[in-house]
Every structure is written in structure tokens, then in C-alpha cells.
Structure 1
């Protein structure tokens, strides 16, 4: 039987020598993780039985066994976080598997210099994620009652004939909803503009659905920030001020981190 290679990520060889890898069970729950030297890096891997974890077997598991999938996804996450606490880390996505060490070398070799530079660039830096939610009631009421644009629209309707007025009034709720979306986006963009001044890099991601978040409010913003550790305290303090000022309008700012550089390494 052959042995597949499950890849968690890459760490600098110097850090691995100074701080030996901890004893952590691998993806199969039996063997332990270990390192494979690749230039000046170490690939953190574990071995897998090729029959038990073949492409066909994995596809069947991921499609038909939700409990298994959740368990393995948690294992990957916990292992990545344990490594991140100890080393500068380029993290790889869940279920990155190679047929053998030779195939791993073949894939990494052309990108080796780029990856070594990347490790140097992300050292001493952290990734943070901001998700913004809004319970629309208060903001919608404010827009309906105080927005100059909505007031102008109402005034315009009041000057129409009674017949036209009836139909145009029915459109006002739709107009308020449009202004609500514009205002939420404007507020979120302003938060992002102010927060990214603390970051080396930042990006806006796709919002999640309610099915994914499990929340009753809609997600209206999803962004990530890459920070020097020296800037983190300033970033967090600014975020606290934003939370206080926006809470009264129905916004919830959910900040999580620090995370490994999932989004700022550019690896696929």
C-alpha cells in the first residue's frame, strides 16, 4: 500500500530547528504530523493510506458523511492554528493532498523562491476579519423620517393628482429600501476606509447568506485586514469606537482574529 501526503502548510526551516514540531495527530487520527524539507522551508505534512483516502473515497465521504467532514475540517483548523501560534506559516486549504513526496516537490520547486520571500513578508503580521451586520429597523425609520431624499420624494408625491398619488405612495417603501441599502453600504465603506489605514493590505470579500451565518440580520460587509503586530492595538481600539457609534443605528461589528495569512499569501 502506498502513502499519500496531506499538506497543512509551510514554515521556515530556521524556526523549525529552533522550535521542534509538537506532537499532533495527523488527518487519519493515527499517525503524527512531521516535516519535509523543501529548500529553506519545511512542509508540515502527515501520511495517509491511499486506499482509505483516495480521491474516490474522499468524494464519497465529503458528499455523504457530514459528521466526518465536520470532524476533519475541525482537525485541519485546529492544526493550522496550533502551527500558527508557534511559527511563521503559509497555511494551505483543507484537503490539500499529494500522491507522494515527489509530487509535492514537483509542485513546490517552481514556486520555492516566491514562497520563501512570502514567509519573510508575513513574519510578524496578522490577518483579521471584519463582518458587519445590520438590524434594519432603526436605520430604516431614520431614513424614512429624516432623509432629505425621501422627504423630497414625499413632497413630490403630495403635489400629484389623487389618482397618481395613490400609486406613487405604494412605491415609497421600495424607494426607502433602496436608500437603506445605499446608506448601509456608505457606512460600511466608511468603516472600511478608516480601518484599512492601519493595515498593510486589505480586501473586501463576498457577503455570506443567513443560511451560512445562522443570524437573523443580513450581513452587509465582509472584509479582511493584514496588520503589523505593532498596529493591532490601535486597530482594535479604533474598532471599539466604531462599534459604539454604530450600535445605536442597529449595526453589529464582528471582528475575529488573529488568523494565519490565508488571504494574503496568493497561493492556490
Structure 2
């Protein structure tokens, strides 16, 4: 059994472009290229005592470790994407040998070529929309009848509390419906400027770092010449109690629809 594996970051066309020099990847390992059949995979040689199947499974439970690895992975992908159309590979993809990576490039050659053609000259932008759930809905529920009912509620504080609670829940539900409808319109308007779009699951507040509702977590593949137009379209959609957050441009992580089977993605135990 070998004591090292090959960590893969991204695949691009082998067009003779200058490659990133002195680029450090996961665990500080140097990044180098493997070429085969007109494609190039950007990789690092990593120790299996850290990146073998079992150590990696344990390490993936450590969020700090995962975050550090993800930043290193992203740094390599972005360095490549600044130079050539790039197909990012899923985080923590490790092979037993460089020969297995060449086999991947051979078996998935046509798929990689198609994906790289689709993302060529395009970048990914991310948009998140947040809404304060405590704000009043724009059309509040009708007020309770006045007169004797109000006096009765004063005499029955428990009933008054329940009615206030029900009104609060109705307002929150209405707020949610309005916010999601607004998010759908925002997504449709931004998708009209993009070549392709994807909706991701809203992040938990622990990940987003914000207490507001995340009602939109969208990714948009935009022609490089239309980046300013996309940002202007987003600015025109701001307001109406929705906070819009723009990130990017990034390598097209959300638009690489290649799913390797498990044998492709795991280090072989008897390599």
C-alpha cells in the first residue's frame, strides 16, 4: 500500500497556458498538473495518513479542519479559473495514484470537454436574499372589533394573549409568503441576465452568520462581458425590506454537473 494519494482540485483544457506557480494546496502541499488527452488536472500529492479513506472520514467531522481545507481548495480552483475555463472537482476528491487521475481524464473526456465549453467565457455569481422575520407584513391582519369585545379581553387576559399570539403567527406567515414571492421574482429577473441559474438550499443561520430568513440562495452563470449588467440588475432589485448580498465572480462550481461513481472518488485500500 502506498503512503500517498493524489488530491484533485480542478480540470481544464490543456491549451498550453501558463500554470500557477508556487501555488500551495491542501495541507500546504504543492500543486502540479497531470495532462492527458488534451485535458489537464490540477492536483497535489497528499499523505494518506491524513487523506486516506478513514482519516478523511474522521477529519470531515471537524468543521475547522474542513473550513481550512475548503479555503485551500477554493484558492487553487480560483487561481486556475483566472487563466482558463475550469471545471472544479468536488472537495476532498482523492485518488490512489496519478495513473487513476489519467484514467479519469480518459473515461470522462467527452463530459469534461462539454462542460468546459459550456462555462468558457463565463463566471458564477452568487446572490443571497435576507428578510427580517420580525418586521410587520405589508398588509397586516385586520384589527379586532372594538367596543365590548375589547373590554371582554381586558377581563380575560388569557384570551387576549392567545389572540395576540395568533395575530403574530398570522403576520409571520404572511411575511414569509411575501418574502418568498419576492425572492421568486428576484430570481426570475436575475436569471434573465444569466446563461444559466441554480437555486441552492437556504443556509442555516449558523452557516450564514445572520439571524434573518434566507429566502434566496441562487447561483448565476454570467458571460464575462455582462458582469456589470448583472450587478446593475441586482442593484435595481434592492429595497422592499429585502437585503441582497452579491458574491463573486467565482469559478462555475454550481454548473459542473458531473457525478463520478464511488470508485472514482475514493482511495483504493489496496493500491
TM (norm. structure 1) is 0.83
1:72 deviates by: 2.2
Deviations 1:131-165 (A, max 9, x none): 00112344x15332xxxxx33xx4xx639x95899
Deviations 1:16-38 (A, max 9, x none): x13234221243424x2111112
SS of 2:138 mapped into structure 1: helix
Q: Distance in 1 between matches of 2:145 and 2:138?
A: 20
Q: Distance in 2 between matches of 1:63 and 1:235?
A: 37
- Asked if residue 102 in structure 1 is aligned to residue 89 in structure 2, the reply is no
SS of 1:143 mapped into structure 2: coil
Instruction: Report the equivalent of 1:40.
Output: 38
- Asked if residue 142 in structure 1 is aligned to residue 142 in structure 2, the reply is no
1:169 deviates by: 6.3
On the 8 A contact 1:136/1:250 being kept in 2, the answer is: no
- Of Structure 1 and Structure 2, the greater helix share is in 1
Q: Which runs of 5+ in 2 are unaligned?
A: 154-158, 260-271
- Asked if residue 22 in structure 1 is aligned to residue 21 in structure 2, the reply is yes
Mark the CA change 1:182 to 1:40 in structure 2 (over 3 Å): closer, same or farther: same
Q: Distance in 2 between matches of 1:168 and 1:72?
A: 51
Instruction: Report the equivalent of 2:203.
Output: 208
Q: How does 1:1-268 map to 2 (within 5 A)?
A: 1-14=2-15, 17-30=16-29, 32-64=30-62, 66-138=63-135, 140=136, 142-144=138-140, 150-151=141-142, 154=143, 158=145, 162=149, 171-243=166-238, 246=239, 249-268=240-259
Q: Distance in 1 between matches of 2:65 and 2:176?
A: 40
Deviations 1:159-193 (A, max 9, x none): 9x958996766533222222111111111111111
Q: Which aligned segments of 4 or more residues in structure 1 are displaced greater than 4 angstroms?
A: 161-170
On the 8 A contact 2:137/2:172 being kept in 1, the answer is: no
Q: Distance in 2 between matches of 1:229 and 1:52?
A: 38
SS of 2:214 mapped into structure 1: strand
Mark the CA change 1:50 to 1:85 in structure 2 (over 3 Å): closer, same or farther: same
Q: Distance in 2 between matches of 1:263 and 1:178?
A: 31
Q: How many residues align?
A: 250
Mark the CA change 1:169 to 1:67 in structure 2 (over 3 Å): closer, same or farther: closer
Mark the CA change 1:237 to 1:55 in structure 2 (over 3 Å): closer, same or farther: same
On the 8 A contact 2:126/2:247 being kept in 1, the answer is: yes
